[in-house]
Chain A
Amino acid sequence: MTKAEEKETAQNLLNEIKRLSAGLERPWRFMEVCGTHTVSIFRAGLRQMLPGQVELVSGPGCPVCVTPDDYMDRAIAYAEREDVILATFGDMLKVPGSSSSLGEAKAAGADIRIVYSPLDSIQVARENPDKKVVFLAVGFETTAPTAAATVLEAERQGIGNLYMLSAQKLVPPALRMLMSDPEVRVDGFLLPGHVAVVTGTEVFRFVAEEYHMPGVVAGFEPLQILYALLLLCRQAAAGEARIENAYGSVVRSEGNPHSREVLGKVYETADAEWRGIGKIPVSGLRMKEEYARSDIERAVPLDLESKPKKTACRCGEVLRGIVTPRECPLFGKACVPTHAVGPCMVSVEGVCAAWYKYGQGVFRFGG
């Protein structure tokens, strides 16, 4: 498609979305579950192009947003140890713990390496045999198998000083929690395309069948997102609830069974704590007993008392679309992008950060 055709297609998709949503009593609210969707939507300027009758709500699929304080506190505590090198994705550097962040720990002298791939931490471990290399294994179904594969690969190479600090999360249980919450008002889900690459589409079937909620698996190009939104509008307009796959180039109904097999060798499901939301049953992963030696929390237990920071931050409700940022007492006062209290203000694309910058959360140039 040429640029001009892309632009024309975008306009056609928007017109159709506009037509379907015209005259609604209240706007449709669609939740983009995945943080990467949030970023793509922001980068393409899609929120501003959509009619007022279609609202996008950012969901809990952003590791920066849902990683709890106490996980960050543990990560920082390990990083501060002389015998530890911490390896992490860049995303985690600015996430606040209860009193500090990895970025601050790094400035204070902690050895923290930013890696692109968990496999890169094997190299760090090999080059530093006298140190314990701890990888921050965060992420959702897409990323979780990469940490598991890294553990298996380190084992194969006889690397004994690589450990995981695991806090991976699973998307379907979070969707179930959201839909079971009477306060949460959404009309459909833009389902995470790259999670579905691993899980397949079947795991989302309950969304439509049990909760009568439309769901469309979407890619990440602006046109793919608009197309998925149109499919959601069509379902909403017809009062239907189905799971559709608008990202067939890489999402198969069976997913990637090989990834799940690798994951299953190293990890098992467990309850997990989501920042701002709380504990969700079987929504996380922990390392199996056979790999306890690679689990830093079991290999080198920390004597760290978790002191949950008591703040008036309402990110949990913001993340579920229950309140708008303006209803939070900290918003724009104690909590601003350069000194974020809650996760929604940390990420540039976080709901609160967007509201802080652009009034209603919608950037209208010159408006």
Chain B
Amino acid sequence: MMTERITLAHGAGGKISQELMEEVILPEFGNPALNELHDGAVVKMGGQVAFTTDSYVVKPLFFAGGNIGKLAVCGTVNDLAMTGAVPRYISAGVIIEEGFPIADLKVIVHTMRQMAEEAGVSIVTGDTKVVEKGKADGIFINTAGIGDLLPGVRISPRNVRPGMKVILSGYLGDHAAAILAGRHGLELPDTVRTDCAPLNKLVQVMLEAAPDIAVLRDPTRGGLAAVLNEIAGASKTGILIDEEALPIRSEVQGICDILGFDPLYLANEGKVVAFVPANREHAVLEAMRVDPYGREARTIGEVVAEAVGQVGLRTSIGGIRVVDMPLGNLVPRIC
């Protein structure tokens, strides 16, 4: 019989651990590779392999439109997709704080399964550890993933050239806004939900439309500003984006106005930025808009030869300002 809360015994490797595995994990994640319950998964890959890992800590664990489990699967799927790979297999390492409700764990695990199914990946190996109360914040999840690199695709900032178009798949800042709900006394309308989603299928149609896409990135922590600055630096080009072209929901802008945030710095979990040769711009946009996660895709700017390493924003009244690298956490300001 399961208890209602995670105890240290659930991580001790004995009978209780086995129960947790059999009653919570396997019913959701079960697949031939995982069901072996061996020390590691044995899988078959095509040729060149992309490999990534990321750890997920988020507060609150549950938020509008998702939870930490959704982030943990989508984040790693998306990291693989951004390299130009088809994600195949994922590992999940979970660190749980003693006393964590098993009902919550079940919800998280179920969400992970749903996301894995949607993305078409299998969770083939994993690990669970339990730490004493106070030594973790509810639950931490690490996922790693491997995928088959799509043939003929060469994603690298070095391929970015002046004249290329910068395409963004949709609204900025929805995830950060959803996480902010309830903080600082803000109440948000139902329309503000995390954008967290697996983008591998969207990316695949983009690469089919234009195998010569130079760079794909998901603007997570640090937002669009961080990604553009990194690419401008690595590609030794300038990037000029257009304020009026940036898709920002009015609710998200409202939160930013109240707290003094800039939407360019807000985290996204279901968006992709692509650097596309100008002659493929329309083909890529058309392909994107058919995908549910690319409906709002649009061109937001272009690569220029001047201002190497810098990101400029053409403001709506006709000025240009620099978009800096973010300098740390976003905190509400009054100045």
- Hey, which chain B residues are within 8 Å of A158, CB to CB? none
User: Pick the contact of B321 from A3, A7, A48 — CB < 8 Å?
Assistant: A48
Given A35-B335, A365-B306, A366-B238, decide whether A223 and B317 contact each other with a Cβ distance below 8 A. yes
State whether B319 touches A89 (Cβ < 8 A): no
- Hey, which chain B residues are within 8 Å of A367, CB to CB? 306-307
Q: Which of A38-46, A166-174, A198-206 contacts B (4 or more CB under 8 A)?
A: A38-46
Interface residues of A in 349-364 (CB under 8 A from B): 357-358, 363
- Hey, which chain A residues are within 8 Å of B304, CB to CB? 366
State whether A365 touches B184 (Cβ < 8 A): no
A348 within 8 A of B: yes
- Hey, which chain A residues are within 8 Å of B317, CB to CB? 6-7, 10, 44-45, 49, 222-223, 226
Instruction: Determine how close the nearest CB of chain B comes to the CB of A192; give it in whole angstroms.
Output: 11
B320 within 8 A of A: yes
A91 within 8 A of B: yes
State whether B319 touches A48 (Cβ < 8 A): yes
User: Pick the contact of A91 from B310, B318, B322, B335 — CB < 8 Å?
Assistant: B335
- Hey, which chain B residues are within 8 Å of A94, CB to CB? 328
State whether A44 touches B322 (Cβ < 8 A): no
- Hey, which chain A residues are within 8 Å of B313, CB to CB? 45
State whether B334 touches A91 (Cβ < 8 A): yes
User: Pick the contact of B319 from A3, A36, A45, A120 — CB < 8 Å?
Assistant: A45
Which chain B residue lies CB-closest to A354?
B322
State whether A115 touches B184 (Cβ < 8 A): yes
B159 within 8 A of A: no
Given A115-B184, A116-B259, A365-B306, decide whether A44 and B319 contact each other with a Cβ distance below 8 A. yes
State whether B184 touches A62 (Cβ < 8 A): no
State whether A365 touches B322 (Cβ < 8 A): yes
B48 within 8 A of A: no
Interface residues of A in 221-254 (CB under 8 A from B): 222-223, 226
B244 within 8 A of A: yes
Alpha-carbon distance between A94 and B324 when the two chains are bound, in angstroms: 17
How does the 8 Å CB contact mask read for A4-18 relative to B, with 1 for contact and 0 for none? 001100110000000
Alpha-carbon distance between A338 and B325 when the two chains are bound, in angstroms: 12
Given A36-B335, A89-B333, A114-B331, decide whether A7 and B185 contact each other with a Cβ distance below 8 A. no
User: Pick the contact of A114 from B312, B320, B321, B332 — CB < 8 Å?
Assistant: B332
State whether B321 touches A91 (Cβ < 8 A): no
State whether B334 touches A89 (Cβ < 8 A): yes
- Hey, which chain A residues are within 8 Å of B260, CB to CB? 90
Alpha-carbon distance between A120 and B186 when the two chains are bound, in angstroms: 12
State whether A42 touches B332 (Cβ < 8 A): no
- Hey, which chain B residues are within 8 Å of A139, CB to CB? 334
Instruction: Determine how close the nearest CB of chain A comes to the CB of B263; give it in whole angstroms.
Output: 12
State whether A49 touches B318 (Cβ < 8 A): yes
B176 within 8 A of A: no
State whether B310 touches A365 (Cβ < 8 A): yes
Which chain A residue lies CB-closest to B313?
A45
A337 within 8 A of B: yes
How does the 8 Å CB contact mask read for A318-329 relative to B, with 1 for contact and 0 for none? 000000000000
State whether B332 touches A90 (Cβ < 8 A): yes
B130 within 8 A of A: no
A306 within 8 A of B: no
A143 within 8 A of B: yes
- Hey, which chain A residues are within 8 Å of B319, CB to CB? 44-46, 48-49, 222
State whether A120 touches B184 (Cβ < 8 A): yes
Instruction: Determine how close the nearest CB of chain A comes to the CB of B179; give it in whole angstroms.
Output: 15
A63 within 8 A of B: yes
State whether A93 touches B331 (Cβ < 8 A): yes
State whether A365 touches B240 (Cβ < 8 A): yes
User: Pick the contact of A90 from B310, B316, B331 — CB < 8 Å?
Assistant: B331
A117 within 8 A of B: yes
Which chain A residue lies CB-closest to B312?
A365
State whether A10 touches B318 (Cβ < 8 A): yes
State whether A357 touches B322 (Cβ < 8 A): yes
How does the 8 Å CB contact mask read for B166-195 relative to A, with 1 for contact and 0 for none? 000000000000000000110000000000
A64 within 8 A of B: yes
Alpha-carbon distance between A62 and B327 when the two chains are bound, in angstroms: 19
Which chain A residue lies CB-closest to B318?
A7
B279 within 8 A of A: no
Max chain A C-beta neighbours (<10 A), residue from B244, B312, B334? B334
State whether B238 touches A365 (Cβ < 8 A): yes
B315 within 8 A of A: yes
- Hey, which chain B residues are within 8 Å of A114, CB to CB? 331-332
Instruction: Determine how close the nearest CB of chain A comes to the CB of B59; give it in whole angstroms.
Output: 14
Given A48-B321, A337-B327, decide whether A143 and B334 contact each other with a Cβ distance below 8 A. yes
User: Pick the contact of A116 from B240, B318, B332 — CB < 8 Å?
Assistant: B332
Instruction: Determine how close the nearest CB of chain B comes to the CB of A309; give it in whole angstroms.
Output: 22
Interface residues of A in 103-118 (CB under 8 A from B): 103, 114-117
- Hey, which chain A residues are within 8 Å of B185, CB to CB? 116-117, 120
How does the 8 Å CB contact mask read for B217-259 relative to A, with 1 for contact and 0 for none? 0000000000000000000001010001000000000000011
List the 3 closest A-B pairs by CB distance, nearest first: A45-B319, A90-B331, A366-B306
Contacts A62-B335, A90-B333, A365-B312 given; 18 further ones with Cβ under 8 A? A6-B316, A7-B318, A35-B335, A39-B335, A43-B262, A44-B319, A45-B319, A45-B320, A48-B320, A89-B333, A90-B332, A91-B334, A116-B332, A338-B327, A363-B312, A365-B306, A365-B322, A366-B304
Can you list 19 A-B pairs, Cβ within 8 angstroms, ordered by A?
Answer: A3-B316, A7-B316, A44-B315, A45-B313, A45-B320, A45-B321, A46-B319, A89-B334, A89-B335, A91-B334, A115-B332, A116-B258, A120-B184, A223-B317, A337-B327, A338-B327, A357-B322, A363-B320, A366-B307
What residues of chain B have their CB less than 8 Å away from a CB belonging to chain A?
184-185, 238, 240, 244, 258-260, 262, 304, 306-307, 310, 312-322, 324, 327-328, 331-335
